[in-house]
Amino acid sequence: MNNITIKSPLDMHLHLRDKEMLKIVAPLSAKSFSAGIIMPNLVPPITTIEDIKNYKQRIIDSIKNEKFEPLMTLFFKNNYTYKFLEEVKEYISAIKLYPSGVTTNSHEGVSNMNIEELRETFEAMSELGIPLCVHGETDGFVMDREAEFVPIYEQFAKNFPNLKIIMEHITTKNSVNLLNCYDNLYATITVQHLFITLDDIAGGMLKPHLFCKPIAKRYEDREALLSVALSGHHKVMFGSDSAPHPTDKKECFGCAAGVFTAPIALMALTSLFDSNNALENLQAFVSDNAQKIYSYKPLDKRIELTKKPFVVPLNYANIVPMFAGEELPWSIVTK
C-alpha cells in the first residue's frame, strides 16, 4: 500500500500553550487533526467557565480557517461543586487531574490522593458523565513513578465504577496490564513512547528534545505499548502529549520536559504501523477508539498520506520537533 487516508484523526492529549507559542503550534495540529483534547495547565490554570471560553476563542483565532475543534478541559480541583460541574459540562470534554508538582505547571494540582477527599467531585463527575483524565505519577524515583501510581488508579476504578478514567500517556507494561482489569479504565499513548526507551535519551549523549514526563522506560515497556497500539486495542487511543518549549528552554541547565511531535505525528505513526504490517489498525488508534471512548462525533476531515520520504524540519520557529533533520518514510499529501 502506497497511500492511506485517515478519517477525522484525533489527538486526545495536546498542549497548545498560549500567546505567541499558541500562534506557532496550534495551526500545526489543526492542519493534521480534526480535533484535540486541550490540556488546561496554563499559568494560571483553566479553572472557570470564563477561562475555558476565552482560551478556546484564542485557539480558534490562532488556527484561522483550518477545520479543527478544540476539545476543552478543566484543571481538576477537589472543591468544585455539583452545581458548577453541571454548568461547566457543556463547555468541556473532560477534567484533567495533575498530582501536584509532577510535571510542567502542575504545582496547583492535587497534593493528597485520599479517596474521601476526592469523593464528592468524583461522584458528581460520575453522575454527570464527565471523564477524568489523569497524569498518573507519584513523586518517587523517576523510573518507578508510574508503576507506583497503579494502586491509586485501582482505588479510583474500584470506588467509582461509573467514572470513565483515562490514564494519560502510559509508559509501562504495568499500565498496559491494568487496562484489562477494570471496565472504566482507558489510556492514551504518545508517539515518543512507541519509538524510544530511556537508552535513546541518556544511553549515549544526552538528547534533551526527547526528555519528557513520564520519562521513556525500558524495552519491555515499549514492547507492551506497541502491542496494544498496533493491535488497535479498543481501550487505547492516540494522545500526542505534544509539549512545545522554545529551544533555549530545552538546550539548557534545567531542561524543560516535553517532546514536540504535533507536526510529524501522523507521518511517524503511519511509518510505524506500516513497518509492523498493522496499517489496518491505524484508523482505530488515531480516531475510531477515541470516538467511542468519549462518545464524540468529530468533524469530517480526511488526511491522505503517501509513501514518499519527508525530511523533518530542524525547527518550527524556535521549537525543535522529534526526528528533526531525519527522514520519515511517509508524508502528508498537501492540497
Grid coordinates given for 135: 497524569
Distance CA 294, CA 163 (A): 12
Distance CA 312, CA 321 (A): 8
Distance CA 245, CA 282 (A): 28
Contact 160, 122 (CB under 8 A): yes
Q: What is the DSSP string of 42-97?
A: -SS---SHHHHHHHHHHHHHHHTT---EEE-EEE--TT--HHHHHHHGGG-SEEEE
Distance CA 66, CA 200 (A): 35
What letter represents residue 146's amino acid?
E
Contact 12, 35 (CB under 8 A): no
Contact 36, 70 (CB under 8 A): yes
For the annotated catalytic residues, the residue numbers are 241
Query: Peptide bond before 44: cis, by omega within 30 degrees of 0?
Result: yes
Q: How buried is residue 55: exposed, middle or buried, by Cβ count under 10 Å (0-12/13-18/19+)?
A: buried
Query: Peptide bond before 208: cis, by omega within 30 degrees of 0?
Result: no
Grid coordinates given for 130: 464527565
Give CA torsion, residues 263, 268, 274, 278, to 10 deg.
-90
Contact 146, 172 (CB under 8 A): yes
Q: How buried is residue 151: exposed, middle or buried, by Cβ count under 10 Å (0-12/13-18/19+)?
A: exposed
> For 7, phi and psi rounded to 5 degrees?
-90, 120
